[in-house]
Chains A and B, each alone.
Chain A
Amino acid sequence: MDLWWKVTGYRRIRLTGADPMRTLRLLSREIRLEQIEWESGLSISFDCARKDRKILQRIAKRQGDRVEILGESGFPQLWKTCRSMPIIVVFLAVLMGLSLWIPSRIFFVQVEGNQTVPTSLILESAQACGVRFGASRQDLRSEQVKNSLLHLLPELSWAGVNTQGCVATITVRERQQQPRKDPRTRGDIVAARSGIVTSFTSYAGTPLCKVGQAVHKGQVLISGVTDLGLKTRVTAAEGEVFADTVEEVSAVLPQETEHRGQMEKIIRRFSLIIGKKQIKFYSDSGILYPGCGKMKEMIPLELPGGWRLPVTFVIDTYTQSQWIPTQSPRWTAEETLLQAIRRQIMDHAVAAEIRNQQLALSQEEGVFRMEGKIGCREMIGRTTEGVYLEGDTNDDRSSGERGAG
């Protein structure tokens, strides 16, 4: 019995007559019969589709046979039964509504990735951000929740929300705390660049220079070792040293560059990802032309209610453009090179301010070259980790004082 019979409904029929075999033969020429049973010499019973009722009546009437309906089955019969009991219809309707509504809501929230920040605190903050029991999955925006969570909990460096079914998982990354420097570790502050000291602040250690003094690269500015006469105190030097420095810089830029011009050709390729398998509707893959652009658009298929199917429609768009060689004007090259030099200096410094510059732009062998000197006021002090020397100290570690030996 096929599914279509169950959907459209079928009946159990008893046929009684003088020659049921002949009637059966006639019926089988026009309709399909199933589960035929020989009850006696004058009657047979069988299943037939509801829609064949008229044909059955016509042939039975012509043969003078009596038709008796023994029972009905299938979906129409089920519907008739349900209609007689409204509570079942209501129950089914509620069940169907719930099956559509439940997957679109969040009922469980879990947190992962936290080590020091308590889960309860993250859950409480997430609740304030909208990730709560019964919240709509559609309204949940991961980026928005992330920003709100990071604002509420500064201890976190990153947060993300993933939903799967009725469960929302908040994944967090905690901010790495800077390890406290052990005061027993020896460390000096040395000059990262040569220059003239303009500002000097020492918090720990022995100052070895003063404002106005010229220092060279690598010179110890604040020492971690303090000579107290009979004893030597070993500590990690701390302080800030600002100095006026001068740096020689050089940067080059090609005179001729290429720019993307008018778009010449657009090719679209379609594919379907079912589970982990990709079905491509094109034969040739890979980049078509050197320098062509590729944009991938992925469209996941979803059912109403947020049910996501494991099917994704993928559109790959290839664009071929004209590359136009362009001569860079002198003023543009100058601006670009200046910005590059400034960026390089600022990137290498902890804290710096450019005070003056003496730069010259020249043009040679197809390139623009900028050379010169940049004067900065910057923090030149850098901490160097020293080695704790057992022989140089006494046993009084709590005070940080060590014997000279």
Chain B
Amino acid sequence: MESWMEKIRKSEEHLKEQTLVELVGRKRVLVEHHKGILGYSKDEILVGTEEGVLRVEGDNLCLCCMSREQLFVSGTIRSLVCEGRES
């Protein structure tokens, strides 16, 4: 029988692998654990994630920084939409 400590540890590990989206005001969006860029324009950026597609809509959007773990979008954010399968 699994101890409750083991259950907490497993749930924490599961959370670590999930996509983390951080919105700073309406100016910046930080996406961690992404799967790459699927579409890119000044008004819309599509980010692939484990849970589906994250649609970032806004004006003068710019992909400031992109690495294996993180993705950083700046501009005026109008909406953040999660599309695709539900986890």
Contacts and interface: CB of A to CB of B under 8 A. Distances in A.
Q: Do chains A and B interact in one complex?
A: yes
Interface of A: 21, 24-25, 28-38, 44, 46
Given A21-B40, A24-B37, A25-B37, A34 B65 contact: yes
A14 to B, nearest CB: 15
Interface string B30-43: 00000111111110
Given A35-B62, A37-B62, A28 B67 contact: yes
Interface of B: 35-42, 48, 62-68, 71
A35 B61 CA distance: 11
A133 B6 CA distance: 76
A29 B69 CA distance: 8
A33 B42 contact: no
B36 A38 contact: no
A36 B36 contact: no
Contacts, number: 46
A28 B66 contact: yes
B55 to A, nearest CB: 15
A36 B63 contact: yes
23 contacts: A21-B36, A21-B39, A21-B40, A24-B36, A24-B37, A24-B66, A25-B48, A28-B36, A28-B67, A29-B36, A32-B65, A32-B66, A32-B67, A33-B66, A33-B67, A34-B65, A35-B62, A35-B63, A35-B64, A36-B40, A37-B62, A37-B63, A38-B40
Contacts of B37: 21, 24-25, 28
Nearest to A34: B65
B19 to A, nearest CB: 15
B62 A25 contact: no
Contacts of A46: 66
B40 A44 contact: yes
B66 to A, nearest CB: 5
A44 to B, nearest CB: 7
Given A21-B40, A38-B41, A44-B40, A29 B66 contact: no
A37 B60 CA distance: 11
Contacts of B41: 38
A43 to B, nearest CB: 12
Contacts of A34: 64-66
A25 B68 CA distance: 9
Contacts of A37: 62-63
A34 B66 CA distance: 6
